[in-house]
Amino acid sequence: MAKLNTIVAILIFAFSLGAYSQTTTWEVSADQAAKKNPLEILPKNLALGRNIFKRTCVACHGEKADGKGLIQSTSLIDEKFQKQTDGVVFYKISTGRDKMPPFGAMLKEDEIWSVINYLRVLADPSAIPPPKNVKLELTTGEEIKSITATVLSADSAKLPLSEVDVHFYVKREFGLMRIGEMSNYTGADGKVKVFFPEKIVGDSEGNVTLVVKIENNFLYNDNETTNVKKWGMPLLSHEGEFSRRALWGARDKSPVWLLLLANGIIAIVWAVIVYVIYNLFRIKKAGRIFFK
């Protein structure tokens, strides 16, 4: 028994040693580690970094980058990780190891750097100033249908704010449909304009709801403005089409010929079956008569 215990103990020790060495040695050469991050920590870069992180890394590293995604990976916000230089992290993301995929082939260098910036900010939110409130206005151009968003500071000075990412949407039945680009940055006058696409279907009168949003921004709090315009194509009602009997109709709208045919066949076949089952009783009865 004691022997067995020693063997087990040795085995456990051996395994944990193996696991330990696995988690520690990730060799990064000195010149790789010394590589400098060319990107500054700017809202624009951070937004890109966050988008990439949300799209590609969250599954394994978790929403908070704490290593608790669908699989157990490593925390990217704890102190041990954050102590590493940008160069080391860059190398690890590019080359990968085990379940960590090598992203060097999938992401551009700038994209990896911006993810690193985002990880830095995620671990230490004080790296960026607290977000500010803004005033968001929506104006529309009528000749060529266009939407202009104007971003102004929320204070009484109402200064135009440049380089703010604004998102444009049209409201649909089950959510928002994006129009314009993924990111639309305001110019020096605080304005950014997108064009309204053709052939968008609105309600029965052609009304569409335009939505302009500032969201997930590092410098400014979320903000949203809406406007209703009669820009869409009116929604045609197909009521008549659906209320008549047809193959695509609902349960109580099956075509008459189908009802007659199907039920006719069912009736004939089952009449025979019922007749045969009735005959079984007749057979039984005929046997009884014989006894008497």
Partner 1 sequence: MTDLYRKEIEIKKEQFQYLVSDLNSPLNRTGSSFKIWIGFLLLLIAMAGFMYVRQLQQGLGTTDMRDIASWGLYIADFVFLIAVSLVGSLITAILKLSNVKWATPLTRISEIIAVAALIAALLIIVVDMGRPDRLWHIFVHGRLQSPIVWDILVVNTYLVISILLLYIPLIPDLALLRKTMGHKPKWQQKMYKILSLGWQGTEEQFRIMNLSLTALMVIIIPVALSIHTVTSWLFASTLRPGWDSTIFGPYFVAGAFMVGAATVIVTMYVIMTNYNFKAYITDEHFDLMGKLLVLTSLVYLYFNLNEFMVPAYKMKSGESAHILGLLVGEYSVLFWSVQILGMILPILLLIIKPFRKPKPLMIISVVVVIGAFLKRFLIVTPTLLHPFLPVQNYPESYHHYNPTFSEIMITVGSFAGIMLIISLFIKLFPIIPVYETAHEKGFPNEIINNS
Half-sphere exposure of 92 (CA within 13 A, CB side): 19
228 contact, one of ligand HEC, partner 1, none, CB 5-8 Å limit per kind: none
Q: By CB under 8 A, is residue 282 in contact with partner 1?
A: yes
- Residue in 7, 8, 233, 286 binding partner 1, rule: CB under 8 A: 286
Tokens representing 5 are 């215990």
- Residue in 4, 144, 256, 280 binding partner 1, rule: CB under 8 A: 280
Q: Which residue has the tokens 């260098």?
A: 109
The contact mask relative to ligand HEC for 42-61 (x = CB under 6 A, - = no) is: --------------xx-xxx
Closer to ligand HEC by Cβ: residue 45 or 223: 45
Within 231-250, the residues that bind partner 1 by CB under 8 A are 247-250
d(CA 64, CA 74): 12
Q: What is the DSSP string of 46-96?
A: HHHHHHHIIIIIHHHH-TTSSSBSSSB---SSSHHHHTS-HHHHHHHHHH-
276 contact, one of ligand HEC, partner 1, none, CB 5-8 Å limit per kind: partner 1
Half-sphere exposure of 71 (CA within 13 A, CB side): 7
**CB burial class (10 A; 0-12, 13-18, 19+) of residue 281?**
exposed
150 touches 159 (CB < 8 A) = no
- Residue in 4, 157, 267, 273 binding partner 1, rule: CB under 8 A: 273
Rounded-to-5 percentages of helix, strand, coil across the chain: 45, 20, 35
Q: By CB under 8 A, is residue 258 in contact with partner 1?
A: yes
Q: Which residues lie near ligand HEC (CB under 6 A)?
A: 23, 56-57, 59-61, 73-74, 76, 81, 89, 92-93, 97-101, 103, 115
Q: Which residues lie near partner 1 (CB under 8 A)?
A: 247-251, 254-255, 258-259, 262, 266, 269-270, 272-273, 275-277, 279-280, 282-284, 286-291
